[in-house]
Structure 1
Amino acid sequence: MGSSIVVQLARKYGAVIFFPTVAVGSIYADWSHTREWKRQQQQLKLSAHLKEQS
Structure 2
Amino acid sequence: MGSGSNIVTQLARKYGAVIFFPTVAVGSIYADWSHTRQWKRQQQQLAHSAQLKSQS
TM-score bracket, normalised by the shorter chain, equals 0.7 to 0.9
Residue of structure 1 in register with 2:49 after alignment: 47
Percent of paired sites with the same residue: 88
Instruction: Compute the TM-score of the two structures, normalised by the length of structure 2.
Output: 0.78
CA RMSD of aligned residues (A): 1.5
Residue of structure 1 in register with 2:39 after alignment: 37
Q: Which runs of 5+ in 2 are unaligned?
A: none
Give 1:39 deviation, angstroms.
Answer: 0.1
Q: Which runs of 4+ in 1 moved over 6 A?
A: none
Instruction: Compute the TM-score of the two structures, normalised by the length of structure 1.
Output: 0.80
1:18 has 2:20 as partner: yes
Q: Which runs of 5+ in 1 are unaligned?
A: none
- The number of residues matched between the two structures is 49
